[in-house]
Amino acid sequence: MIDRADFLDRFGGVFEHSPFIAERALDAGAVSEPLTAGGVHAALTAAFRKASQAEQLGVLTAHPDLAGKLAIAGGLTEDSRKEQAGAGLDRLSPAEHVRFTELNTAYTEKFGFPFIIAVKGLDKGDILAAFERRIGNTADEEFETAKGQVERIALLRLNALLPGD
């Protein structure tokens, strides 16, 4: 039987600062042993998709800006810090940092949540290109795109914690 406290301790942060996702997945009986990345991801994603739009927006807004103030101040979660560093976002030139800041501000003003992208396997050029492309989306398109990226980030985090299926 899955120990609730252990499960929530291990997986409560997979969806950034949103342990209610793991709680709801467990409470719904959607999690079964043996725990695998795919199985836990399916359960967490189902709970995320069943959350209200306001709760989903809360998950999106829990994500930090890419190369933003939290990164500079060292205030990212360990997962976010590693993910951003892996994409080179901790080594931006001053000009690149200015561009990221401009895009972060414009994006957040337009959509009401930070730009979210699963950065694994991407470099800063790939991320900037996606930023430039996605800022032209409608609010509905971008809300769906951002949710998909959050789910992808969750899968990548779970793959690092659990065996595959």
Residues annotated as catalytic are 63
The number of beta carbons lying within 10 Å of the beta carbon of residue 67 is 24
Q: Which residues contact 96 (CB under 8 A, 6 or more apart)?
A: 67, 124, 128
Angle at 15 between CA 64 and CA 82, to 5 degrees: 55
Q: Which residues contact 78 (CB under 8 A, 6 or more apart)?
A: none
CA torsion 137-111-61-25 (nearest 10°) is -50
Compute the distance between CA of residue 134 and CA of residue 9 in angstroms, rounded to an integer. 34
